[in-house]
Amino acid sequence: DTAVSQTPKYLVTQMGNDKSIKCEQNLGHDTMYWYKQDSKKFLKIMFSYNNKELIINETVPNRFSPKSPDKAHLNLHINSLELGDSAVYFCASSTMMNTEAFFGQGTRLTVV
């Protein structure tokens, strides 16, 4: 069974569109994260939720809006996509006690 799963794996879309990436974890963790990996392969935190509450919000454009319907899901919605949004987005989960973090397989977003 996949611990942290993201869909879709690949997403190609035109500038200006709105898209969503879904993430689910079956580990019973209470904290979920979104990370962005840029073209230079550097991973950086975007958001973190604990039990559906936002606890980390980095300097991310307002066009990015995370939504957590329950503690097992953290979706990422992106409005008005721009070329610079092209990257690989990773979902991760752990606990508030900073236990081992597990990552999804990533979603490669390409904006054309």
Partner 1 sequence: KQEVTQIPAALSVPEGENLVLNCSFTDSAIYNLQWFRQDPGKGLTSLLLIQSSQREQTSGRLNASLDKSSGRSTLYIAASQPGDSATYLCAVRKETSGSRLTFGEGTQLTVNP
Applying CB under 8 A, which residues contact partner 1? 31, 33, 35, 40-45, 48, 50, 55-56, 90, 92, 96-106, 108
Kindly state the smallest distance separating residue 55's Cβ from partner 1, in Å.
Answer: 5
Per the CB < 8 A criterion, the answer to whether 4 and 102 are in contact is yes
Considering the complex, state which of residue 20 and residue 99 has its C-beta at the smaller distance from partner 1. Answer: 99
Minimum gap (Å) between residue 51 Cβ and partner 1: 10
d(C-alpha 72, C-alpha 39), whole Å: 29
Q: Which residues have a Cβ under 8 Å from the Cβ of 16 and sit 6 or more positions away?
A: 80, 81
Residue type, 15: M
Q: Which is nearer to partner 1, 3 or 15 (CB)?
A: 3
Local structure of 85: helix, strand or coil: helix
Nearer to partner 1, 81 or 92 (CB): 92
Q: How far is the CB of 37 from partner 1 (least distance, A)?
A: 9
Residues in the chain: 112
Closest distance between partner 1 and the C-beta of residue 62, in Å?
20
| Cα separation, 80 vs 67, whole angstroms | 17
